[in-house]
Amino acid sequence: MRIGNQNVSNPLFLAPMAGVTDSSFRRLCRRHGAEVVYTEMVSAKALSYHNENTGELLRKHPEEEPVILQLFGSDPDILAEEAHKLESRFFAVDLNFGCPAPKIVRNHEGSYLLKEPDRLYAIVKAVSSAVSIPVTVKIRKGFEDGENVAPDIARAAEEAGASMIAVHGRTTAQMYRGHADWDVIRQVKEAVSIPVIGNGDIATPQDAAAMLQQTGCDGIMIGRAARGNPWLFEETKVFLSSGTIPRRPDISEILDTAMLHAQMIVEEKGESLGMHQMRSHILWYVRGMRGSASLRRALQQISSLEELSNILQLCRQVCGESQVEVDN
């Protein structure tokens, strides 16, 4: 796949997820087969104010490359200026027109801009004119239930200079409820000549293959199903090329990876903040394991690597070395 002036060798993308896809998690997913990863969603306005916490979201490791910077905002000039400042550090810049979070929508940002196609066009035009790296966009099917503006938005984004479109097949009103409408991804693919990435309800390698077949999209974006399950990328990569699925990791492999993840996040952010943020991740790693429910309270209170190591050792004793089916 070619995205603007950049090449991508396999079609698997890790979706940007606020509070999840930090540098440590992106590194793990890259190790396990993700081809392209995104930063968490970054506010262009906060960058322009030199917000320290927002600046931390730009942290990345060479092992993650290629990394796409995802920006959100509603002011074309601010978005263009911040994208220009950062373009030398990233593979591409992605414009978020898909986030359904109420606090983002209330600010007329994220997926709210599906309601303002002229402003959306102006943003893509301004940013693509300001940078030499590819500009990509992430959109949803529409804003209200029953609405489908994605094909028209995609055509406008392409005309304004976008080099790739990622489409989540739900509306803003749906949030993450119900089923993603894959047919809208097919409609977008037919509407534009640039690559289209399908997103929504990819929980297994078979789902990825079905989406590619049903929509004709150029690539697959995996989000929530990858939490605590970075192996999904390599399983999908193998399945798409050979039709076979590697064995699931056993308990020991999962817990070793969870511990490695914790060590990486502590190295990146320090033990206090790192372990606080690891609490959600660790629950995703152990879901579905025998006895994990009884450990949830302890896991939600972890504050040190030593604590986590002790709890995971207990988990090994309770669960044994069997394989588990990940419940997505």
What is the H or E stretch that residue 28 is in?
A: helix 23-31
Q: What are phi and psi of 176, to 5 degrees?
A: -120, 20
pLDDT at 324 > cutoff 90: no
Numbered residues of the known binding site for FMN: 16-18, 70, 138, 168, 223-224
Fold observed for domain 2-242: TIM Barrel (3.20.20)
Fold observed for domain 251-319: 1.10.1200
Q: What percent of the chain has pLDDT over 90?
A: 82
Q: What are phi and psi of 144, to 5 degrees?
A: -90, 160
Catalytic hit among 99, 217, 315, 319 = 99
pLDDT at 47 > cutoff 70: yes
Pairwise CA distance, residues 135 & 93, whole Å: 5
Pick the range with the lowest mean pLDDT from 168-172, 185-189, 278-282, 323-327.
323-327
Numbered residues of the known binding site: 16-18, 70, 138, 168, 223-224
H/E/C letters for each residue in 198-253?
A: EECCCCCHHHHHHHHHHHCCCEEEECHHHCCCCHHHHHHHHHHHHCCCCCCCEHHH
**Span 45-65, average pLDDT:** 91
What is the H or E stretch that residue 3 is in?
A: strand 2-3
The reported pLDDT for the residue numbered 83 is 98
**Span 227-231, average pLDDT:** 96
pLDDT, tens digit (0-9, with 9 covering 90-100), for 71-98: 999 999 999 999 999 999 999 999 999 9
Q: How far is CA 84 from the centre of its chain?
A: 23
pLDDT, tens digit (0-9, with 9 covering 90-100), for 90-149: 999 999 999 999 999 999 999 999 999 999 999 999 999 999 999 999 999 999 999 999
CA distances to 71, 124, 139, 186, 304 from 121, in Å: 15, 5, 13, 22, 47
Domain ranges in the chain are 2-242, 251-319
For the chain, the average pLDDT equals 93
The reported pLDDT for the residue numbered 303 is 92
Pairwise CA distance, residues 114 & 222, whole Å: 22
pLDDT at 320 > cutoff 70: no
Pairwise CA distance, residues 155 & 152, whole Å: 5
pLDDT, tens digit (0-9, with 9 covering 90-100), for 280-308: 999 999 888 876 677 778 888 899 999 99
With tokens 């007329």, the residue in question is: 108
Q: What are phi and psi of 18, to 5 degrees?
A: -60, 130
Sequence-ordered list of residues with C-beta below 8 angstroms from that of 217, at least 6 positions apart, any chain: 167, 185, 186, 189, 196, 197, 198, 211
pLDDT at 323 > cutoff 60: no
pLDDT at 176 > cutoff 90: yes
99 is catalytic: yes
